[in-house]
Every structure is written in structure tokens, then in C-alpha cells.
């Protein structure tokens, strides 16, 4: 494929994708009751133009291929052909006619030699090459014509598919929500989840001396060690000890 053919292929692909999306979405909205007639009409126009262009290319390439085929079977030259020509020119003209008949149709025809006798034309190596080139060109053009015909049918099939898919998506029932399913079954409505409880704030410490009760001091003998008494010097009365 040439650069121009690649460019045409890319542009046709982008335009075709846009047209199919418009056709699908427009059909779906229109079938659902929304106002989308212009969108669907635009998609139909784009897909129709692409299909029509491909079919026009198909007919053009068929005409090009037909130009390589002879209009009719090359007939043999009559016996009185080229009466007014010299023997040399008669031989050259009849031989050119036989060569052209072979290149265009592959048929071997007779020609007049310089003595006026009929001979079957024997193609040379160059004649065979020209015949192969003609056959290759005709086959290539016919193949291109067939490709464009398939492309035109493909665009029509894709457009029809987008139309049917749009209708199908529009007529399909919408999925039910959990609340709608619960209402249909007669169950209690589903309550929304309760918000998470906030953690309680820590209690503030009350200051010492305000509405507080002092703890009792531990008594002697409970987890305490008694201190030793100081020594009394001799001669001190007992009441002053």
C-alpha cells in the first residue's frame, strides 16, 4: 500500500468509528425517548457515505480491469487484407496485429509474410513478458475491486449492527437497586449504616483540695519501721525521762 492508501485507510477508520458510535448512541437515546434524532441521522449519513464510496471504488476498478481485456476475440485477417500495401509493410502490419492479439488475449493468430503466405505468429521473449504484465495488472485491479466490494458490504453490516445494538440496549430493563429489590419483595427497607461513635473524651482531673477527701495516714506497725529512742543518762528521774 502506498502512503496515500494508508492515509485513506486511517481516515476511513476514524470516520467510520465516529459514525458507528453516533449511530449506536443516537438510536439508543431515541428509543429511550430522548431527543437524539440528529445524532442517529449523522451516524447513518457517515456510514452510508463510507459504504457508497467503497462501492464506487469497486466499480471504478472493475472498469480498469476490463480495459485490459479484449473487447472481442481477435479474428483472423481476411485473405484480401492489405492489397494496397507493399509486401514489407503488409508483413509488418499483420505481424503487429498478431502480436497485439497475443498480448491482449493470449491467442495466436496468423500473419502474412513478405511472400504473402499465412504464418502462425510465434511470440518472442518480450511478447511473453508483456503478456505476463497485462495479466498481473488485470488480476491486481480485479483484486482491488473485490476488496472494495467487501468493504462496502462490511460498512453496511456494521451500520445495521450498531442500529440493532442501540435498540437492544434501549429496550433492555435497567438493573434494580437494592432498595427497589427490597420494596418489591416486601421486606423492610434497608437502613443506612449508623455513623461510627466518637471516642469519649478523658475525664478532667479535679484539683487537689476541691471536693476531695484526704487519705488516712498509715498507722504505726503497718509497713513502717519504729525509730529507736534516745539513751537516758543515769541519775535522771523517771518522770523527766
CB 62 within 8 A of CB 159: no
CB 12 within 8 A of CB 52: no
pLDDT of residue 235: 62
pLDDT digit string, tens, across residues 134-160:
999 999 999 999 999 999 999 999 999
Domain ranges of the chain: 9-71+146-172
Give the residue from 170, 169, 159 showing the smallest Cα distance to 44. 159
CB 69 within 8 A of CB 138: yes
pLDDT of residue 76: 84
pLDDT at 12 over 80: yes
- DSSP structure string for 58-108: HHHHHHHHHHTS-SSPPPPPPTTTTTTS-HHHHHHHHHHHHHHHHHHH---
- 219: confidence class by pLDDT, cuts 50, 70, 90: low
How far is residue 37 CA from its own chain's centroid?
A: 25
C-alpha neighbours within 13 Å on the C-beta side of residue 125? 0
Range in 22-31, 58-67, 125-134, 170-179 the model is least confident about: 170-179
pLDDT at 53 over 90: yes
Read off the C-alpha cell for 191: 437502613
pLDDT at 225 over 60: no
The residue among 148 and 83 whose pLDDT is bigger is 148
pLDDT at 207 over 70: no
pLDDT at 8 over 70: yes
pLDDT of residue 32: 77
CB 46 within 8 A of CB 19: yes
pLDDT at 35 over 80: no
- Cα–Cα distance measured from residue 152 to residue 16, given in angstroms and rounded to the nearest whole number: 12
Give the residue from 1, 50, 18, 47 showing the smallest Cα distance to 148. 50
Exposed / middle / buried, residue 47 (Cβ in 10 Å: 0-12, 13-18, 19+): buried
Considering the chain, what percentage of its residues have pLDDT values greater than 70?
Answer: 69
Mean of the per-residue pLDDT values for the chain?
Answer: 79
pLDDT of residue 37: 80
Amino acid at each position: 500500500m502506498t502512503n496515500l492508501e494508508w492515509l485513506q485507510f486511517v481516515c476511513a477508520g476514524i470516520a467510520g468509528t465516529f459514525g458507528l458510535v453516533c449511530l449506536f448512541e443516537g438510536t439508543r437515546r431515541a428509543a429511550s425517548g430522548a431527543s437524539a434524532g440528529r445524532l442517529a441521522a449523522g451516524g447513518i449519513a457517515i456510514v452510508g457515505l463510507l459504504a457508497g464510496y467503497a462501492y464506487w471504488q469497486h466499480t471504478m476498478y472493475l472498469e480498469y480491469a476490463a480495459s485490459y481485456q479484449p473487447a472481442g476475440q481477435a479474428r483472423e485477417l481476411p485473405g484480401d487484407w492489405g492489397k494496397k500495401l507493399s509486401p514489407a509493410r503488409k508483413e509488418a502490419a499483420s505481424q503487429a496485429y498478431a502480436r497485439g492479439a497475443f498480448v491482449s488475449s493470449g491467442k495466436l493468430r496468423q500473419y502474412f509474410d513478405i511472400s504473402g503466405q499465412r504464418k502462425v505468429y510465434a511470440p518472442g521473449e518480450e511478447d511473453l513478458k508483456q503478456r505476463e504484465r497485462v495479466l498481473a495488472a488485470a488480476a491486481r485491479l480485479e483484486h482491488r475491486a473485490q476488496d472494495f466490494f467487501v468493504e462496502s458490504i462490511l460498512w453496511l453490516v456494521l451500520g445495521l449492527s450498531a442500529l440493532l445494538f442501540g435498540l437492544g440496549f434501549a429496550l433492555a430493563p435497567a438493573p434494580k437497586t437494592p432498595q427497589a429489590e427490597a420494596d418489591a419483595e416486601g421486606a423492610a427497607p434497608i437502613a443506612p449504616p449508623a455513623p461510627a461513635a466518637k471516642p469519649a473524651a478523658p475525664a478532667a482531673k479535679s484539683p487537689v483540695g476541691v471536693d476531695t477527701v484526704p487519705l488516712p495516714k498509715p498507722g504505726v506497725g503497718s509497713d513502717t519501721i519504729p525509730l529507736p529512742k534516745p539513751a537516758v543518762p543515769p541519775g535522771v528521774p523517771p518522770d523527766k525521762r
